Amino acid sequence: MPRVLQVIEATIGGTRRHVRELSLGLAETDWQVDVAYAIGRDPGFRHDLELFRQHAIGVHAVPMRRRPAPVEDLRAVTRLTALIRRLRPDVVHAHSSKAGLLARLAARRAGVPVVYTPHLFAFEMQVAKPLRALYRAIERLAVPWCDRLIAVSRAEADAARTIGYPADKVALIHNGVPPLPLPPRDRGELHDVAFVGRFCRQKGLDVLMAALPLLRRQCPGLTVAIMGDGIPPWRPRPQPGIAWLSAGDAQAVIALLRGSRLLAMPSRWEGLPYTLLEAMQAGTPVVASRVGGVSDVITHEVDGWLVPPDDPRALAQALLTLLEDEIQRALLAETARQRVADFTLEAMIEATRRVYRDVLA
């Protein structure tokens, strides 16, 4: 039975979900799976570890830091190298930038093929120009250490080629979601607009908050539900019509989506967000920023609406247009359901298995 070691430092958000669902799915096939992880960024990852143990997936704690830390990074590479030599996996699969660098170095030292999924390159995020240049230089340097790169979006595949990856070393595999049982819509608790995501600059909650006064001029009774975790980069002021909800499990998210007319996704950067796919499954039309892999899924005015990032006025206008047009919302919802049927978890897992087999061939 072939063996794969998944390596993750960014145990949050979509990367965490991707590794969890990929690992559990692979464990149901002909692959033996281990996960090397850094605990600390999301205490909830401990729940994932329990799931892994229940499915006979080996779990191995390896201290890794998100920030640059040369001494600690060297220790992490040494520990990962020792782990790889002890487990003797056929393939190492590294996820996100920091684990991607450390695991590629360790796999190279141990003589094991390595697959890398950036889940959005660090140099594509909105960081200071010197840092962006540094991240790009590091990624360019690490290209020869990678046997295959898996991009979760066309934008990520294009970015990989700009730093030197040849086309035959890049595989495009979109994130996938399992079929979800949908609860009935609760008309008694219907929200006009929902936001689901971490309270961080990436997700653009501040853009939505700036759009709300513009939107309320035309919709004075507007109701908004905001679900997420973390600390907003500003002090939230109580406002009528806004419900602040703690981050919930998958069922809570789906229930919120089913109880909302629209989902706003004003992100500044993205890989391929799972919340987008879930909203399309739930039949909730999406107004999203035209960033990252969003355009892989949404065709503007066909199965969702796209707006420029960091543009509260454009976001408000798009939300207003759709709130006033129930027929258009229904058409978008139906087309979106058909479109998201192409983005299945089963297809994602099978495509990843093919990459592993190709690397070993």
Residues 36 and 50 in one domain: yes
Which pLDDT belongs to residue 165?
A: 97
On whether residue 156 sits in a domain, the answer given is: yes
* Strand spans (E) along 9-90: 32-37, 58-61
Question: Which pairs from 213-221 meet CB under 8 Å and 24+ separation?
Answer: 214/312, 214/313, 214/316, 214/317, 215/316, 215/319, 215/320, 218/320, 219/192, 219/320, 219/323
Instruction: Assess whether 229 and 282 both reside in one domain.
Output: yes
pLDDT at 12 over 60: yes
**Which letter, b or e, does each residue of 265-281 get, where b requires 16 or more Cβ atoms within 10 Å of its Cβ?**
bbbbbbbbbbbbbbbbb
The residue range of the domain holding 330 is 187-340
Backbone φ/ψ region at 76: left (φ over 0), alpha (ψ -120 to 50), beta: alpha
Name the token pair of 124.
């594509």
Rounded distance between C-alpha atoms, residue 326 and residue 324, angstroms: 6
In a domain, 332, yes or no: yes
Together in a domain, 311 and 351? no
Average pLDDT in the chain: 93
**Is residue 32 assigned to a domain?**
yes
What pTM does this model have? 0.93
pLDDT band (50, 70, 90) for residue 127: confident
What kind and span of H or E run contains 306? strand 305-307
Are 99 and 72 contained in the same domain? yes
pLDDT tens-digit map of 266-284: 999 999 999 999 999 999 9
Q: Are residues 155 and 272 in the same domain?
A: no
Which tens digits make up the pLDDT trace of 149-205? 999 999 999 999 999 999 999 999 999 999 887 766 665 568 999 999 988 899 999
How far is residue 22's CA from residue 283's CA, in Å, rounded to a whole number?
25
Residue 181 belongs to a domain = no
Domain CATH code at residue 168: 3.40.50.2000
For position 226, what pLDDT does the model report?
94
Closest CA to 75 of 30, 33, 38: 38
In this prediction, residue 65 carries a pLDDT of 85
Claim to verify: residue 166 and residue 197 sit in the same structural domain: no
pLDDT per position as a tens digit, 286-313: 999 999 999 999 999 999 999 999 999 9
- Please, which pLDDT band fits residue 234 given cuts at 50, 70 and 90? low
Q: Which helix (H) or strand (E) holds 294?
A: helix 294-297
How far apart, in whole angstroms, are the C-alpha atoms of residue 155 and residue 96? 15
78 and 161 share one domain: yes
pLDDT band, residue 101 (cuts 50/70/90) = very high
Residues 193 and 105 in one domain: no
Which region among 87-96, 191-200, 204-213, 240-249 has the lowest average model confidence (pLDDT)? 240-249
Are 63 and 115 in the same domain? yes
pLDDT-above-70 percentage for the chain: 95
Residue 228, Cβ neighbours under 10 Å: how many? 18
What percentage of the chain has pLDDT greater than the value 90? 81
Claim to verify: residue 222 and residue 166 sit in the same structural domain = no
What is the number of structural domains in the chain? 2
239 and 195 in a common domain: yes
Based on the domain organization, do 122 and 262 belong to the same domain? no
